[in-house]
């Protein structure tokens, strides 16, 4: 396998880079997600493959190009993948740099195949962590064989609903936040539990790793960024896929992996979004926006969330800057037997069912 950026550049990732995984237990997975759309039309929805929402459950999504550059296509990518009876997964990938749209598209293709299969095939929590981390490192190594990844990269957040274990496994690098939406008691307003923590270079552990490998963390106009050993100032995050020049200065592709048991009486949906949403809308505000829509209007909820984010960007920047905005909302596709879910998102269980206690597991280790 070649070194970072050692192979010939191309405008499109080849099929081997955006590789398909091997099906697990005879799975028949159904996918929807964004295409590698070259359009530069401002605020336009990114093209996606024909969605078969009926087979995937109740899913809503919006992926809109921002106003950062009239010459740059939408660099966000997203996908939803489901293997009935085994798992469902949601992923968001926010590209950056000249070829960030290519890197995010390829990372989506790799991780949305490999991560769910790693989760389902693993036995212990430790195996889940190690296998998912291996998926991210493999994706980064494959990205390193392409010239597009020398100065461009992507975030990656993948949330897998493990149907048999009735839990979600969350893995991420960067700042595309995932939240669990919950309905407490008979409340009509959802609450948000953050499932990821942004990887920022100013965080003590991240700063130590960057400085140990020869990089620096500098603050420019209130924003902390990584300064590489070559003196290039760029990334405002400390973990990505791609960005091979910065990875030589302490940026890492090592994901955080956490596991969260689901409470069938309270946990109703997963929302994953790029920082085009989270820069201007808090998780609490996002939960309130989604609360206004029943679960069968997930598409309208996701589009409303994107519209709201764009409106705030335009207002706060005087119509000058809007980041690419992506929001993917997924209500659980497969619930444990005996649990029914109404069209308003509330849950009911037979009297004999016991309430599941919530358990969150976050396995920490040293970032390479």
* Each residue's pLDDT tens digit, 36-90: 888 889 999 999 876 555 555 589 999 999 998 778 999 999 999 988 889 999 9
pLDDT above 90 for 334? no
Predicted pLDDT of residue 30: 78
Q: What pTM was estimated for this model as a whole?
A: 0.86
- In sequence order, what DSSP letters do the residues of 164-180 get, joined into one string? TTTEEEEEEESS--EEE
pLDDT above 60 for 16? no
Q: Which residue has the tokens 């596709």?
A: 333
Higher pLDDT, 38 or 9: 38
Predicted pLDDT of residue 186: 82
Predicted pLDDT of residue 50: 60
The pLDDT of 115-128, averaged and rounded, is 95
Continuous segment of H or E residues that includes residue 274 = none
CA distances from 211 to 203, 215, 249, 343, 368 (A): 12, 5, 8, 51, 13
pLDDT above 60 for 11? no
pLDDT in tens, 160-173: 999 999 999 999 99
Higher pLDDT, 296 or 357: 296
Q: How far is CA 18 from the centre of its chain?
A: 17
Are the C-beta atoms of residues 20 and 113 closer than 8 Å to each other? yes
Q: Between helices 298-316 and 283-291, what is the axis angle to 10°?
A: 130
The pLDDT of 140-160, averaged and rounded, is 95
The pLDDT of 305-314, averaged and rounded, is 98
Separation CA 310–CA 324 (nearest Å): 9
pLDDT above 70 for 280? yes
Cβ-proximal residues to 136 (8 Å cutoff; 6+ apart), any chain: 111, 115, 156, 171, 173, 241, 253, 254, 255
List beta partners, residue 161.
88, 168
**Mean pLDDT for the chain overall:** 84
- A 10 A CB-CB count for 116 gives 30
């Amino acid at each position: 396998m070649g070194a970072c950026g050692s192979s010939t550049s191309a405008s499109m990732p080849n099929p081997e880079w955006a590789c398909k995984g091997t099906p697990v237990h005879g799975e028949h997975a159904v996918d929807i997600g964004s295409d590698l759309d070259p359009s530069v039309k401002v605020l336009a929805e990114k093209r996606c493959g024909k969605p078969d929402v009926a087979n995937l459950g109740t899913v809503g999504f919006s992926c809109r190009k921002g106003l950062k550059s009239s010459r740059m296509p939408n660099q966000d990518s997203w996908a939803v993948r489901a293997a009935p009876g085994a798992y469902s997964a949601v992923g968001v990938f926010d590209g950056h740099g000249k070829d960030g749209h290519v890197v995010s598209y390829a990372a989506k293709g790799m991780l949305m195949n490999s991560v769910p299969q790693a989760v389902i095939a693993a036995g212990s929590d430790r195996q889940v962590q190690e296998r998912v981390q291996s998926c991210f490192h493999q994706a980064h190594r494959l990205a390193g064989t392409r010239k597009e990844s020398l100065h461009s990269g992507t975030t990656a957040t993948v949330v897998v609903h493990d149907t048999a274990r009735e839990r979600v496994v969350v893995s991420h690098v960067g700042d595309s936040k995932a939240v669990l939406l919950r309905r407490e008691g008979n409340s009509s307003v959802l609450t948000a539990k953050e499932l990821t923590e942004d990887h920022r270079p100013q965080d003590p552990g991240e700063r130590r790793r960057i400085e140990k490998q020869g990089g620096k963390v500098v603050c420019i106009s209130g924003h902390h960024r990584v300064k590489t050993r070559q003196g290039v100032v760029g990334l405002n995050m400390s973990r990505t896929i791609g960005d091979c020049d910065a990875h030589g200065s302490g940026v890492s592709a090592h994901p955080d992996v956490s596991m969260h048991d689901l409470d069938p009486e309270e946990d109703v949906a997963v929302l994953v979004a790029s920082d085009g949403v989270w820069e201007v809308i808090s998780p609490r505000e996002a939960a309130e926006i989604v609360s206004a829509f029943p679960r069968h209007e997930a598409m309208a909820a996701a589009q409303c969330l994107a519209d709201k984010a764009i409106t705030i960007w335009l207002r706060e920047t005087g119509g000058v800057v809007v980041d690419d905005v992506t929001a993917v909302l997924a209500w659980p596709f497969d619930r444990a037997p005996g649990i029914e879910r109404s069209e308003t998102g509330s849950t009911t269980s037979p009297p004999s069912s016991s309430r599941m206690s919530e358990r969150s597991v976050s396995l920490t280790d040293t970032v390479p």
